[in-house]
Chains A and B, each alone.
Chain A
Amino acid sequence: MKHTLILVGADKGGVGKTTTSRALLDFLARKNILARAFDTENPRGTLKRFFPRITEIIDLDNVADQMKLLDSIATSAVKVTVVDLKAGNLSMALNIFSRIGVLDAARAGDFNLALIHVVGPSIASLDEMGEVAAFTKDMSYVVAKNFINEANFFEWDDKTYQKYFAKLSDAKEIEIPKLNEMAYEQVDLAGVTFSDFTADKNSKGAAGDFSFVLRGYVRKWISDLDGELGGLNLITDLIDAATSPDVDGDSDNTSS
């Protein structure tokens, strides 16, 4: 199975980038696809709180950390790497990757490269899409419209949006559906994965005593999200590869 490197980024903070990374890792775990994660939100690392066992915090400006992430791609037994790029660092990170030959290596077929670009409700987000277009040739480029935080998240003019979107070759679009605020907060407070929350498990694996209603909301949200993620070729390829007979390893890569 060829390695797949999935970058999750946004040039603007507060658009739900880490939530998208969490949702993606959660989805992969539910599909028994082993993944490892790097959180470039140095030194805090929100993602690590939810996936402590598989997440490492790195500083993308630091060469040693760049090596930790990229040099291990060829040797890692875990074939999916998710990188949660620090808010505002998307263009910079793509520049670094371009400079050190990561994009060329992906183009040459050394590994699969994907970018999930989480966009916000502003023209600035559209401009971001224009900026990253220079880097997205030959990689899977997914624009994630995140509705999780606000009900009316996307209020821009659809025609304008489509105009920007049309410029991006082979771009796919997904929507991260809205999750009830109280349910979202409870998962956040519990510091567990979305799946563990629905299973009523706390971060130590014991009974969480979480509200049935809130668990129900999260269960519904996961189910809606599965439909979105499951429609991406990038994901279906991973699922196919993971379920093919030549794949080894166990599936215990969640935080619980």
Chain B
Amino acid sequence: MTAFIELKNITKYFSHVVANQDVSFSIERGEVLALLGENGAGKSTVMKILYGLYRADAGEIFQNGKAAAIHSPRDAMNLGITMIQQHFSLVQAHSVTENIILGNVHGAIDREAADREVAALAAEHGFDIDPRARVGDLAVGVQQKVEILKAIYQKTRLLIMDEPTAVLTPQESDQLMKFVKNFTSQGNSVVFITHKLQEVMAVADRIIVMRNGMVSGNLRKADTDARELSRLMIGRELTNAAQVKTERAGGEVRLALDRVSVSDHGAVPSLADVSFEIHAGEVFGIAGVSGNGQQELCEVICGALTPVSGSIRLDGRAIETLNIHERVKRGIGYVPSNRHRDGLVMNMTMAENMLLKTSFDPRWLKNGFIDRKRLDAVSEKAIADYRIKASGPAAILRTLSGGNQQKVIVAREVDIGEKLIIFDQPTRGLDLGAIDNVHKIIRAERAKGKAILLVSTELTEILGLSDRYTVLYKGRLQGIYDRSALTVEEIGLLMAGYQLKEGGAHG
């Protein structure tokens, strides 16, 4: 029997960056297929192609063995394919019913009848939803049910869900799993896009593992285990992991966090009881899937967030109540992960961006005005030292390449961070040469005796640069380890929220 859906050699570029390369797999009737991979592995992209939101640059899609032309979500829906987006696509101001019937009704709407129909559909699947409720008033978990009902209303036969449990409580997740099993038992198919191993082991029949835009594994759940999946997902090319083996950093304690918690509006804390120390001349790595509290951790140290409890000390002095300016003055540099949003002003010149975070500092002033000569001199020096490809201090930042923009931030923050530099995903989106450059800078600053906090979702980076590291999972540390203490599989399990049963030194 032919597969319900067959993807053949799907390739997709986003302005010359490969998002999918030669992706081929099938989706069978009545199965739960997990699409597993790290962030940026290309899982969502390939499914958005199947749903008609993106157009593939190459490759074919077959349904029941026949070539299917999918140019828009409408085409996909006509083939019985529906996709629930990660951040949903509901109209907050409209009622549940209005959201469900959008695009699926014609002509006049009989509201009462539509409400009744939606109520009946909800009851049939055991969902407790008021059809007349305003979607914006509903909890996220309930909004997801609205999305599911929308798909069922369209009589979908393949339901694609993008990270569906990311927003759910464990109980809601259990309910969702129950629904998925029930839905597929009627001959329908479900694709589960996820990076959570536990979820995959709980619900999937078959698993497609993706890495760097390619399929790195296609396995039946019965034939595999979490370790193998973790290895396939993360890969083993730890080429530069053991490059520099310098002596253990022996400096005094620079930065000390003691049971720091950050609250996210009373809900689950985004950081809970985080304690660690970084010594002078030490790189401390934070591994983990992004969105597990990394940004909060960086911001609480640089002063953008205030902890609800706990203390932060720099060279023995409490800094948790100081504002960002004060912390900048004490020598904390911060290279944020989203450089466009948090680090740079793209329409200003390179020199102005160099000045951005220390503009209050009198050293830039001469007779009350900005000392252009001095600023230009500092910028010229940065251009030379960091080999920034820019026409000069007056170059508009937008005209620089991504790698050179990153060098501008790094130059500025290295200058500011006399004591401590926080690097949050410093190499994301950079090409190999630029990555190598950033790594060199991190090593050089470490050698100068600065304390360095390195946040990265790339394990190779963490293992290649850190003296010690920890894994962040849901705002908590999963123990602190020396560079060579764990295998990649073990780290993968920690990142997925498992605890190590044997061998792992719990910190």
Same assembly: no
Q: Which residues of B contact A (CB under 8 A)?
A: none
